[in-house]
Amino acid sequence: MDLSRFKRRSEHEWEIEPHGAMRVPGVIYATESLVRDMDDKVYEQVVNVAALPGIVKASYAMPDAHWGYGFPIGGVAAFDPEEGGIVSAGGVGYDISCGVRSLHTGLSARQVRAVQERLADCLYARIPAGLGSTGSIRLGASEMDAMLTGGARWAVKRGYGEAADLERIEEGGCMAQAKPDCVSDRAKQRQRDEMGTLGSGNHYLEVQNVAQVFDAELARAFGLREGATLLTIHCGSRGLGHQIGTEFLKRMAIAGSQHGIRLPDRELACAPIRSPVGEDYLGAMRAAINCALANRQILTHLAREVFAAIVPAARLELLYDVSHNTCKVEQHVVDGVKRELYVHRKGATRAFGPGHPDVPPALRAFGQPVLIGGSMGTASYVLAGAESGEARSFASACHGAGRAMSRHQATKQWNGRHVIDELAARGILIRSPSQRGVAEEAPGAYKDVSEVVDASEAAGLAKKVARLEPLVCIKG
């Protein structure tokens, strides 16, 4: 992007001053090189979001921002219902509550490497992955609604995991005010056979080595030490979430015009928070969040079974589970006044700082864990929410590296088999049902995750705790 279009607030903060229909400024947190390399569509979408009714303070983009549907991926925006604020399906995304959970394995990297091939093969055999993948669970109508209401709590009650897991999941493992009745029969049908599956795209299950600790105190609080290993799961609400997004974008396109909302881009289809369509979407979206939480909980159970069979000493205790694509009702202080806002995070992580009541008691003094995913051959990171993030971005941070090129471009540049072989030579084992999918997700198709994370810390959004390196990756 052309840097002359911005007012530079600081080394890592770039402002788009209000113009045209913008109600608030746009703000991008990134290094100069990251901003320069962003697609012009990111600028355009940040500007368009800033024109939506009821938006508060600014339209934000994280350091990993790239072009998305309506909102940029890496976009954050909060809306006040008292000022005609809206809810937008495009501001949440199709893969509702796509997120990351990390678990301590209780094993050293040396112990994992001793069984690396067998572990990779058994995880791949046990964890359904890929486009249209289905699992062994079949949900009837009543169980579907119970799952959409109960989330990870439902899964634990059905024997998938432990009650202690719920203490380390956003919302205690269950999103309140979910409305299964607002989820269509088509969406439920798509999800009937997909519980306990990874799906495709950038979703994965990865065994990782803690390669470097940046903050010893935070690392101890999070149970991290160099040479230990984690299991990280990245997936979301699968077909159900996608169907909800598809259907409500159509309904919002009609509802918005009925309420006199004029959009700079039809992909920003939205409805007033306090409207029948807005309330229906929030109910359906919360049900999809519960679907994602239940899905990751089931996958955790399946992975525990594999580890128990191969390395009985493994314990797999949950570090934390965070969602990326959500709209949540939160209290934030704006101009000295506490307000109840609807915070959209699309490809962005909630990052509450130390002392926040929604952080689990065992971690509250240190801030919320922020789990940043890499891409097969690249590092992942554990961060902690920073106190300064509240004022800077409604307590939000990046969620990953962010794509540097499209999937189509990636397949022209990389061959899946070659990517797998190159990573194997580096000691990273990849298992995937799709070589094309591996090419689409080649590490080189993404931005430098370390630069993104460094920018997030420098901007005051979150603090670096540890860097993780992959050992085994089951790729969708």
Bridge partners (DSSP) listed for residue 334: 337
Pairing of β 26-29 and β 59-66: parallel
C-beta of residue 445 within 8 angstroms of C-beta of residue 374: no
Structure tokens at 48: 């368009």
- Sign of the torsion angle spanned by Cα atoms 177, 174, 329, 181: negative
């990134």: which residue's tokens? 30
Helix (H) or strand (E) holding 62: strand 59-66
Is 399 designated active site?
yes
Q: Residue 380 and residue 466: Cα distance in Å, rounded?
A: 9
Q: Residue 173 and residue 166: Cα distance in Å, rounded?
A: 5
**Catalytic residue chosen out of the listed positions 19, 203, 399, 418:** 399
Q: Of 363, 355, 361, 360, which Cα lies nearest the Cα of 389?
A: 355
Q: Residue 359 and residue 366: Cα distance in Å, rounded?
A: 9
Amino acid at 73: I
Angle between helices 276-310 and 141-157 (to 10 degrees): 50
C-beta of residue 269 within 8 angstroms of C-beta of residue 89: yes
Q: Of 207, 233, 144, 231, which Cα lies nearest the Cα of 180?
A: 144
User: Rg of the Cα trace of the chain?
Assistant: 21
Q: What is the DSSP string of 4-40?
A: GGSEEEETTEEEE---TT-SS-EEEE--HHHHHHS-H
Residue 335's contacts (CB-CB under 8 Å, 6 or more residues apart) are none
CA–CA–CA angle 474, 90, 81 (5° rounding) = 125
Q: What is the DSSP string of 163-227?
A: GGGGGGBGGGG--TT--GGGS-HHHHHHHTTTTT---STT-EEEEEEEEEES-HHHHHHHT--TT
* Active-site residue set: 399
